Structure formats: C-alpha cells, structure tokens
Amino acid sequence: MKNELRRAWLCAIPIVLLLVALAAWAHSARGEGGEPPYFAITNARIVPVSGPVIESGTVVIAKGLIQAVGASVTIPPEAWVIDGKGLTVYPGLIDTQTTIGLEQEGGDEAAPRAGGGRGRRSAPLSGEIIRDPEDRPSSTPWRIAADEIKTDDKRIESWRNAGFTTVLSAPEGGILPGQGSVIDLAGNRPGDYVVKSAATLQISLRPGGFFGFPDSLMGVIAYIRQVFDDVSWYQQADPIYQANMTKSARLRYDRTEQVVAAALQEKEIVLLPANNSVQILRGLRLADEWKIRAALYGGQEGYKVAAAIAAAKTPVLISLKWPERPKDADPDIPPSLRELRFRDLAPSTPAVFAKAGVKFAFYSDGLSGPKDIFKNLKKALDAGLAPDVALRALTLDAAGILGVGDRLGTIEPGKIANLVVADGDIFNDKTKVKHVFVDGHWFEVHEEASHDKPGDKKPMQSVDSVHAKTAGVSR
C-alpha cells in the first residue's frame, strides 16, 4: 500500500509537471484562439470505411491527424477524452461540387465578353489567320477557388454542423471557369481551409449567349476542342522552342494554354457536365477524344447507361438535386412520360452504379442545405443503395475522385482528422451530429434551437466528464 502510494507519487510528479505545463500551454493557446492538439474519442462505435466497423473503440487525434484507431489503443496522457458511449464516429463527409466560400456570381473576369472573338469581326481582315487570346472568351482556367475563399460564408458552418468536413469549391461562369479546390470547412484564415488548391479543372458546356461565339452546344464543344488541341500543340512546341530559341520564332504567350497544360501535367481531374444519358455518353466520348482524365458531374440518368460508364472507368459526381415536379408547374400541362420516368428513376442511379461498378460520389448541386442533402440521400437509399456504399461515396470514393484519397475519406492513422461523431446511424433522420472534427479541430454541434428541450445537457458537460477522467488517469 505504501509502495503503491509512493509509486503513484513518483508517477504523479511528471504528470503534475505536465499538467502545469499543459495549463500554461492551454492558457497561451486560448489566448491565440487555440485548443488542445490531442483528442481521444473512447467507447465509440467507429466506422472507418477503410475496414470493418469497430463496435467499441477509440480514435486518437494528434495535431490535426488521426494518430490511432482501434478497439484498444493507448490514449496519450495529454489528450482530451470524449466519452463516445452511444456515439458513432465516421470520417468527415465530402460534398464534391459546391460554391461554398465563393462569391456565387463569379468574378469579373468570368463575365462573357459580348461580341468577342473572331465571330463578330467588324470587318474582314486580310490574309492572316486570326488567333489570339481574344479567341478564348469565357475562359478563365487560371482562377483557383482557393484564392477566392471567403470564410464568412454561412454555408461553411451549416455544412460542417451536418457532418460535411470537406467540399470541393469550384468557380462558376464561362466555359472554362477555373479550377476547383478541395477545402476543409474550418480555419482562421482562408489559407487554412485549403487541402488541395488545384484539384479539378472545371468545364461547363453551357453556351454564353450574348451573340458571341460560341452560342450553341456544338460551338462550345468545338471551342473546347480547340483549347485542348492548342494545349497539346503547346506541349509539343514549347520544348522545341526552348531548345532552339535562336532558330525559332518565339511562341505567343497564351495563359489558357499554359494553365491547362499544367493542369493536365499534374493529372488534375477534368470535370465535365453530363446529366442525361445522351450527355453522359457524349461526355465519355469527348473525354476519350480529348485524352483527359475526366469525371462527369450530374449523372442523374446514369441508370440507363451504367455499363458504358463502368467500361470507360470514368467516375461520376452525382447531383443530389433529384429532378422533381417544378413547384410552379401548370397543372393543366402534364409532364411527359419520359420526364416522369426520369423523376421516378433518377434516385436509383447510385444503386445501379454500385452494381455496375461505377465509381461515384455525391454533390449538393445548389441544394439549400444539409437537410435537403440528407433527405435526397435517403431517396437514393430507398431506391436500393446500400448504406455502407453510400457512406463510401460520401467519404473515401469522394476523396479518391478528387485526388485526396491519401489524406481524407477514412479513419486511419495518418489521415487528416476529419470526423463526424453522431448519436446514431448517419442516414437516420433522427440522428443528431454531436461533434465534428476538422483538421483535428473540435466543434461541438448544438442542436437546432427550435428542437432543444429545456434542461438538455450542454455539450460542454461531456468535456467536463472528460476532464474528470483525465484526472483519473493521473491518480
């Protein structure tokens, strides 16, 4: 007994020192708006996605990364412990195409130039072939979402509170609007948010209108074909020029060529829009012709052409904005059978994809908030999508498609500590998200004000019990 006490004392000395140090550190960290870098969620049901579910285990977070996960892992003494009893831990969810953090109008540069390009030449030009950067209206591939992040976007908190820790934010406007960035939904400065700045090269096939070239779908496709042709020309021509500067005329500078060439060099994924089956097959064909590593976005009529998509090994970002009867639909004009079939079957696309072996993820596509996202995910589950496949699509597969699968999407040591802790199955509409970790930063999720009952225990109470437990370790 005495020995034990002594041993306890001896053990306690460094711990006391540590606690003092920790208190000092925490104080200073708090002064900087900081928080402890170590957390442990214990006794929780853990769904790592990368492996089997752990019915009761611990996840340890250290300095923004997942340090350990398992049924019995050592909890570092400095960790704040959250009792996860009755809670389930998932990897943070990923919304693969949004404008979160971005001005939704698009920058000035993206505005289509009315009457630009060689189409509206005011007078015939002699002899020469007219080609210069003015030939690329509606192209701003150098815009990178990461450079335009505004941290006051209310959607950041709203998405995060629902368990979305990561989104692809992509510029809009024009044919080559820019490059999408993978961002984590937390940070003090815009730069803190960015996981991968140049993640996707965005393509829109919507013609600009304004009576300039291109004003039709076929014109837009031709326009993009010229861009990819020019890029591959540049890739071929530039090395020859670099080696023969004294013998060759210099190459004209073209920002689009250089930026797109660099993006292709980096194997950046090219996002092509394709929602109905005709567009999907067209998208596959164009991706093949242009020799780009493409992912399609939209994909809602994919249930018709899943085999072709699987054969092309092209991933699809599925829009969760399922087709619906328009709210202002004229009751006297019934929709066509084709439209009705589409509305009926679109939510079955993810299930069909899963069966056919198409890799897919989801995106919110302008849905107003997470409530609608989960409502529409539920429709996909009701149409046969297995919950574990849905979860994979929202985490690991999303991360993989966006080129960040090595850092996000699962609960494994070394991954970025993006976690959702909920009081039940994430797809159950009764389930509440309790905690969210983004880059190892802890966020407590308050229940929606209107649903709070008086006397609900405050989220901090769980941390109080954590504190008690930490103290218990030291005894």
| Per-residue binding letters, 184-203, with other proteins (x by CB under 8 A) | --x-x---------------
Our finding on whether 452 is near other proteins (CB under 8 A) is yes
Q: Tell me which residue of 276, 316, 284, 278 sits closest to 300, measured CA to CA.
A: 276
Cβ-count burial 18-30 (b if 16+ within 10 Å, e if not)? ebeebeeeeeeee
Q: Which listed residue (110, 145, 194, 286) binds other proteins by CB under 8 A?
A: 286
Number of residues that bind other proteins (CB under 8 A): 96
Please give the radius of gyration of the chain, using alpha carbons only, rounded to the nearest integer.
26
Which residues from 381-410 bind other proteins, rule CB under 8 A?
Answer: none
| CB 405 to other proteins: min, Å | 27
Q: Tell me which residue of 445, 417, 423 sits closest to 165, measured CA to CA.
A: 417
| CB 406 to other proteins: min, Å | 26
Our finding on whether 446 is near other proteins (CB under 8 A) is yes
Our finding on whether 432 is near other proteins (CB under 8 A) is no
Q: Which residue's CB is nearer to other proteins, number 35 or number 423?
A: 35
Q: Which listed residue (73, 251, 310, 381) binds other proteins by CB under 8 A?
A: 251
Our finding on whether 273 is near other proteins (CB under 8 A) is no
Our finding on whether 8 is near other proteins (CB under 8 A) is no
Q: Which listed residue (103, 134, 344, 423) binds other proteins by CB under 8 A?
A: 344
Which phi and psi angles does 243 have, rounded to 5°? -85, -10
Stretch that binds other proteins, among 40-48, 348-356, 417-425, 449-457 (CB under 8 A): 449-457
| Termini Cα distance of the chain | 14
Q: Which listed residue (104, 248, 368, 428) binds other proteins by CB under 8 A?
A: 248
Residues 6+ apart with CB under 8 A from 262: none
Stretch that binds other proteins, among 141-149, 311-319, 389-397, 435-443 (CB under 8 A): 435-443
Q: Round to whole Å and give the CA distance between 339 and 119.
A: 36
Q: Which listed residue (161, 200, 319, 349) binds other proteins by CB under 8 A?
A: 161
Our finding on whether 225 is near other proteins (CB under 8 A) is yes
Which residues from 121-140 bind other proteins, rule CB under 8 A?
Answer: 121-125, 127, 129, 131
Decide: residue 471, CB within 10 A, 0-12 exposed, 13-18 middle, 19+ buried: exposed
| CB 124 to other proteins: min, Å | 5
DSSP 70-131: ESS-PPPTT-EEEE-TT-EEEEPEEEEEE-TTS-TT--GGGSPPTT-TTTT-SS---SS---
Q: Round to whole Å and give the CA distance between 105 and 172.
A: 7
Placement of tokens 């009893």 in the chain: 85
Strand, helix or coil for residue 437: strand
Our finding on whether 6 is near other proteins (CB under 8 A) is no
